[in-house]
Amino acid sequence: MPQHKISRHVAYCRRCLTLLPGVFTAVDLNRLSLAFFLLNALDILDHLSCITPEERQGWINWIYSCQIPSGGFRGSTGTKTKEPSIFDAGHLPASYFAIASLLILGDDLSRVNRQGALDTLRKLQNEDGSFSPVLIGEDKFGEVDVRHLYCAIATREMLSPVTVEEDIDVPAAIQYIQKCKVEPLVRQLISDL
């Protein structure tokens, strides 16, 4: 990629990290995912050094402010309440984005409620091996698809469960992925023609 295009991408990422364009204000509840993609872009472009140490620490502190006390992360501080609330719940993709962003920023994850996050991952797994994105109390909510399985597996890998009790049901997750393969479905559709 020509250097002038890289510099424009870097400038855009820096701008969005400090002040979101007006069209993005409606998605403030997804600020953590936007931050992840911007930080990741800077890292891929090998320009993460454009973030000052003070800005880096500010982002790390903000990400930790999105952590749910029981484990996991919310998508932004916009839903944070003083008292526990069903409207202020952890979100599986937000947890993935938070932990990945902390690692991109060079954090040691020492402030992550590791046990709570792993407990929440296990509770979000469905019997068929898939994952729901949100846990409110003991109830799972949201669409179930492979995106959430990816977020769960990546989060699991970053948090490195030590015991079987801490871990998700890996064989069930593998079976879910195998059921999602398109090949058998395509073969069936072709044979039906």
The residue-averaged pLDDT of 54-64 equals 96
Whether residue 22 is predicted with pLDDT greater than 80 in this model: the reply is no
Whether residue 186 is predicted with pLDDT greater than 80 in this model: the reply is no
Greater pLDDT, 14 or 164: 14
Report the distance separating Cα 99 and Cα 151, nearest Å. 11
pLDDT tens digits, residue range 93-111?
Answer: 999 999 999 999 999 999 9
pLDDT at 185: 57
Average model confidence (pLDDT) for the chain? Answer: 88
Whether residue 188 is predicted with pLDDT greater than 80 in this model: the reply is no
Greater pLDDT, 1 or 169: 169
pLDDT at 130: 96
The number of residues in the chain equals: 193
- In percent, how much of the chain has pLDDT > 70? 85
Judge contact between 60 and 107, C-beta under 8 A: yes
* Cβ neighbours for 168, distance < 8 A, ≥ 6 positions apart: 121, 122, 125, 152, 156, 161
What DSSP character marks residue 67?
B
Domains assigned to the chain: 3-192 (1.50.10.20)
User: Predicted confidence band at 187 (pLDDT cuts at 50, 70, 90)?
Assistant: low
Give the number of other Cβ atoms within 10 Å of residue 59's Cβ: 20
Report the distance separating Cα 129 and Cα 71, nearest Å. 21
Nearest to 139 by CA among 89, 96, 93, 70: 89
DSSP H helical ranges for the chain: 3-18, 31-44, 53-65, 92-104, 114-124, 146-159, 170-179, 183-192
pLDDT at 173: 94
pLDDT at 193: 60
Greater pLDDT, 26 or 143: 143
